[in-house]
Amino acid sequence: SGAITLDRGYKNSGSCLSEITFLDGEEGILRYRGYSIEELAEKAHFLEVSYLLIFGELPTAEQLKQYETDIRKYTLVNEEMKNIIDGFPKTAHPMGVLSALTSALTAFNPKAVNPDNPKELYESVCKIMGKFLVIATWTYRKTMGYPLNYYDNTKGYVENFMNLMFHLPTEPYKANPIIVDALDKLFILHADHEQNCSTSTVRMVGSSHAGLFASISAGASALWGPLHGGANQAVLEMLEEIHAHGGDTEKYLAKAKDKDDPFRLMGFGHRVYKNFDPRAKIIKKAADEVLSTLGVDDPILEIAKKLEAAALVDEYFVSRKLYPNVDFYSGIIYRALGIPTDMFTVMFAIGRLPGWIAQWKEMRINKEPIGRPRQIYTGHAFRGFVPVDKR
């Protein structure tokens, strides 16, 4: 054992070698397997991107068709899972339910996948891609008290998401293609982001050779927090609060700068980006487009823009290189699409799933050792035990 280097929050530690995602935080560049995020968001579809992340190359038309078919095969969720959902109160947060249900999938799929067996691995990938989408929407159906929907094999993956969420037995439902396209793009933008908190969690849990589903469940729990994926819900709640207080953005900027006030400007700042988050740029443009195409006039969007403009010229934010991140505008689009606020982080999770899977797979294939950081002990030196009657 040598000297231990302290690196709180692993700000300067590389935990692995990875071929999946390239991120340059100074320049604001993000690429999946070499392809720029801008080009993928514009030209590719979410399932195509998930294949790219997980298997390393863009699929051929034939591979993509097969992949979609194979995912479809696994979209039936065990009926007993419904009993588990029924055990939750209606008021439960969908992220807690999602993490628990993903963990529960291990009970119905107990065999640990062998990552060195390509066929077994491929089947597990399709299985989690199929089932996770369905249970993610069930968390919403539960809070609404609606009957649970099944995957419709005649529709695509993202269209199915809308259908699973919003189809009611009493009225036929047809997802708006504009909404499906916007969601597809949002899922692509969230699909991977190298060693972020939830992905590192997936790798850490998986490094003990716990199964894929157990690792993904842990990733969902990590994503839930407001400093990570939970920020998208927190941003919208913050914008609504500012709106309710007459749109006074200056007051909230002052609060964010006040070191005695725990309030932070949600959706601002990033561990790695010290420049514009490239995803935020695309999402801001998409928010404008989606709202105008759907004819939605949302005062919240104006508040967000005002807040962003003021922060970008404010010395506090400029000197700390705090820019809008992926979560700043995404919630405004979700809201325009009719997604309830407490489902925003679930949306992030659906998008991030391919990244979690790809990183888990790479970790196992590269035979990474168990994750086990050290510490610098700051507690008591040796003390003799004092019996209870002498304390």
Q: Which of 351, 321, 128 is nearest to 223 (CA)?
A: 351
CB 270 within 8 A of CB 325: yes
Q: Which of 175, 153, 134, 133 is nearest to 70 (CA)?
A: 153
Integer Rg of the chain from CA: 22
Rule CB under 6 A: choose which of 266, 303, 339, 358 binds ligand CMC. 266
Active site residue 327: yes
Non-local CB neighbours of 163 within 8 Å, separated by 6+ positions: 149, 152, 155, 173, 175
Rule CB under 6 A: choose which of 98, 125, 205, 326 binds ligand CMC. 326
Query: Contact between 327 and ligand CMC (CB under 6 A)?
Result: yes
Find the binding residues for ligand CMC in span 214-233 (CB under 6 A).
227-229, 231
Collapse the DSSP code of 16 into the 3-class scheme (helix H, G, I; strand E, B; otherwise coil) and give the result: coil
Q: Measured from the CB of residue 265, what is the shortest distance to ligand CMC in angstroms?
A: 4
Kindly report the length of the chain.
Answer: 391
Q: Write down the catalytic residue from 192, 228, 270, 277.
A: 270
Find the binding residues for ligand CMC in span 162-221 (CB under 6 A).
196
Which one, 218 or 322, has the nearer CB to ligand CMC? 322
Rule CB under 6 A: choose which of 32, 224, 252, 268 binds ligand CMC. 268
Question: Is the CA virtual torsion 360, 365, 370, 374 positive or negative?
Answer: negative
Could you say which DSSP state residue 116 is in? T
Query: Contact between 320 and ligand CMC (CB under 6 A)?
Result: yes
Q: Which residue is nearest to ligand CMC (CB)?
A: 269
Tokens of 96: 């807690």
Query: Contact between 325 and ligand CMC (CB under 6 A)?
Result: yes
Q: Measured from the CB of residue 87, what is the shortest distance to ligand CMC in angstroms?
A: 29
Helix, strand, coil share (%) of the chain residues, nearest 5: 55, 5, 40
Which one, 43 or 320, has the nearer CB to ligand CMC? 320
Number of residues near ligand CMC (by CB under 6 A): 20
Tokens of 206: 């998986």
Rule CB under 6 A: choose which of 28, 115, 206, 267 binds ligand CMC. 267
Rule CB under 6 A: choose which of 23, 189, 239, 322 binds ligand CMC. 322
Query: Contact between 23 and ligand CMC (CB under 6 A)?
Result: no
Query: Contact between 269 and ligand CMC (CB under 6 A)?
Result: yes
Q: Which of 40, 42, 62 is nearest to 50 (CA)?
A: 40
Which one, 134 or 358, has the nearer CB to ligand CMC? 358
CB 130 within 8 A of CB 71: yes
Rule CB under 6 A: choose which of 44, 265, 343, 346 binds ligand CMC. 265
Phi-psi region of 269 (alpha: psi -120 to 50; beta: other; left: phi over 0): left
Q: Are strands 21-24 and 29-32 parallel, antiparallel or unpaired?
A: antiparallel
Q: Write down the catalytic residue from 184, 192, 277, 327.
A: 327
Active site residue 45: no
Could you say which DSSP state residue 324 is in? B
Q: Measured from the CB of residue 77, what is the shortest distance to ligand CMC in angstroms?
A: 27
Which one, 206 or 351, has the nearer CB to ligand CMC? 351
Tokens of 28: 């604001």
Catalytically active residues are: 270, 327
List of residues contacting ligand CMC (CB under 6 A) = 9, 196, 227-229, 231, 256, 264-271, 320, 322, 325-327
